[in-house]
Amino acid sequence: MKDFLFTNKCDLNILSFKKRIENYNLFTNYKVNILKHNKSYNFIFGKIYEISHSKNINIKKNYDGRFCYLNINKNKIKIAVDQFSRIDIFYFQERNNFYISSNFKLLVKIIEFKTLNQLAIGHSLNVIGIRPAKKQTLFNEISRIGVNEELIIIKNKIHVNRKKLILTQTKKYDDSKINEYFKINQEYLRKLGKTSKKNIYMSSGFDSSYLAANQKKIYGSKNILGHTVVQKLSKRSKIYNIFELKRILKLKKHFNFNVKLTEVNLIKNFEKYSEEISEISGKRMMANTLAAFMHYKLAKSSSNSNFSNETYAGEVSDGVHNFGFSQFFSLIDHESNGFREYSDKKICYLYSPNFLKKILNKSYKSDYIFKEVSSKKFNKIKNLNNYNIKNIFYELCNNLFNSNARLPLNVENNLILKEKLKLELFENLKKNYFSNINIEKPEQIYSGFINLYNSFHWQASTICTMYNFADYYNLEMYLPYWNPKLHDYLSKMPQDWGRSLEMKNIKYPLKESFRRYLDYPSILEEGYHSYLYDVKKYSDPILEIISNPKTRKYILKIFNKYHPCDYLSAGYFDKNRINLILKSYKKDKKFEEYSNQIFRLYNISKMLYDLN
């Protein structure tokens, strides 16, 4: 994606913007025109189209893809993005001047006076993706177009039009719905892209394997090239994802397609990769997550292969099927892995309509599963006995989207965040995100969660990196599980289809349709799951990465330029504790339990570094 700047100040350059729409249920009688304005400035976002005579056409509903569109009607200008807000459009209002751009770094340099958004930073330090929620940025003065939002410009003033999200509720599904699920995915994949050749990021798990099997069925094995990273994170673990790689080789043989391996060596190259992605990270406001490094190398590998300019990945699947709990969460630290999936089903159950009903009737504390999980994993249980359904929903959303452990009704203990920040952050998220979901029945809870994922984890520095690094290498990136028909299907899917305590698998319709209609590799059910990488099962990979002397030297260099205690507010953050933690890290003594906090603090400092 090329950068663009859109402003009423004609002395600033207007840069081109690449617009892409993947056709999906398009109207056939449309006509396109390049939009221009003949007064004080030109609107040139490369090619931004208007459907002629289309005042009654809902562009978001009838177009799917990652795009921005603009509409001019007399003196009124409307700018909006696709229904999932898969593209970042940053904006800023300064008196009678406005600035709108896809380049965050450009706006940061234009704005003379700006202040750090402490709530956005607090959220970033508290979540896996290390990025503010969708509508916010690192600075109070710069915002992003959110989900179901559009900018209306009248007389050089930006107004934000925010639409309420309409929820669906769960329905009873019979066996025929397995075939419907399969057809939704097949039809969507057939409409994506312009070539039969497909690069696929392979993780050796069900999501990427399902994509590969579908693409094989449609286009044949010879038109697939898999891409997988060899992860070298520490000298002790050597190849960290060895079980994943062994399974990839088996999948390669099973599907009969080629796989290209590319190395991510953080033992030697943490600084090198960090500097290489610095410019694009600043432009797109992305953190240096491990996912960012991997997506950078995967995009580079796909580009260098010259196989195809189309790339596909299985991201979003975990969140939309079962809210991120997919053979990752374990209630017991045991050498056997055979029952790990059922641990995740227990957590899914605690985010289900049935458990929500128990909270409403005040019987949740006696629930067997809740007692088991809370006794092993919780810090403190929230008391919700006097809450209505909306406030309970807000509390569950706070646990799901604004925490590290993501345990329902758990009072999380983040030692570097003060209580004032936690309270204000929750109120901010409730006001700007959670309250846009008008939940009235427990059966609407899945629809609410799936809608909100679009403002949180799916916008974080573990997924936006896929799009942005693909753009950097002139690749077309597709995430087929970010499919509106699939999301509607899964919003209505009942909890007894893999989301509760019944015996169906997590991701039941995916796995069942895989077995029935595609070339199903039984090796997916053998040995370690792809999420379990290292032979030392419960090691901390972040700790091992930041403990590397070469890496620590670079991280300390970033801290010297942007020390957290210089930009974090003492009213919100425990700066004394942060200072002690970073001093211990500098001395290489007693910082092990703070590894994640150090890495996230580094990432905020690194984002500030990338902007300069």
- Reported as a single tens digit per residue, the pLDDT across 590-599 is 999 999 999 9
The reported pLDDT for the residue numbered 392 is: 96
Annotation: CATH topology of 176-320+462-494+504-525 = Rossmann fold (3.40.50)
Summarised one tens digit per residue, pLDDT across range 304-317 is: 999 999 999 999 99
Mean pLDDT for the chain overall? 88
Angle at the Cα of 605 (from 603 to 606), degrees rounded to 5? 60
**Token output for 487:** 């999301």
User: Phi first, then psi: what are they for 226, rounded to 5°?
Assistant: -85, 150
pLDDT in tens, 461-479: 999 999 999 999 999 999 9
The answer to whether the CB of 234 falls within 8 A of the CB of 223 is no
Measured CA to CA, the distance from residue 600 to residue 290 in angstroms comes to 11
Q: What is the CA angle 286-292-297, rounded to 5?
A: 135
Span 129-166, pLDDT tens digits: 999 999 999 999 999 999 999 999 998 899 999 988 88
**Partner residues linked to 445 by β-bridges:** none
**Buried/exposed 432-471: b ≥16 CB within 10 Å, e otherwise:** bbbebbebeebbbbbbbbbbbbbbbbbbbbbbbbbbbbbb
Predicted local distance difference test score (pLDDT) of residue 88: 95
Q: How confident is the model at residue 336 (pLDDT cuts 50, 70, 90)?
A: low
pLDDT at residue 63 in the model:
74
Mean pLDDT of all residues in 99-111: 93
Place 404 in a pLDDT band, splitting at 50, 70 and 90.
Answer: confident
- Whether the predicted pLDDT of 118 surpasses 90: yes
Is the pLDDT at 96 greater than 80? The verdict is yes
Residue 440 DSSP one-character state: -
Task: Name the residue ranges covered by the structural domains of the chain.
Answer: 5-162, 176-320+462-494+504-525, 350-455, 547-610
Q: What is the pLDDT of residue 537?
A: 63
Residue closest to 284 by CA, chosen among 108, 82, 476, 98:
108
Q: What is the pLDDT of residue 341?
A: 80
The pLDDT score that the predictor gives to residue 23 is 30
- The residues that bridge with 261 in the sheet, in sequence order, are 228
3-state SS, residue 198: strand
Torsion of CA 63, 65, 66, 72, to 10 degrees: -10
CA distances from 243 to 64, 232, 249, 307, 535 (A): 36, 13, 10, 27, 9
pLDDT at 35: 29
Once rounded to an integer, what is the mean pLDDT over residues 35-46? 31
Compute, in degrees rounded to 10, the torsion defined by CA atoms 261, 523, 234, 304. 10
Residue burial 58-70, b: 16+ Cβ < 10 Å; e: rest: ebbeebbbbbbbb
Which residues are CB-contacts of 207 (< 8 A; sequence separation ≥ 6)?
A: 314, 315, 317, 318, 481, 510
**Under 8 Å CB-to-CB from 51, ≥6 apart: which residues?**
27, 30, 31, 32, 57, 59
**The pLDDT of residue 22:** 34
pTM attached to this predicted model = 0.91
* Of residues 540 and 432, more confidently modeled: 432
The pLDDT score that the predictor gives to residue 568 is 98
pLDDT at residue 390 tops 50: yes
Instruction: Say whether pLDDT at 299 is over 90.
Output: yes
Secondary structure (DSSP) of 221-234: GGGEEEEEEEEE--
pLDDT band at 532 (very low <50, low <70, confident <90, very high): low
Q: Which of 71, 70, 83, 65 is closest to 21 using CA atoms?
A: 65
The predicted model gives 509-525 an average pLDDT of 96
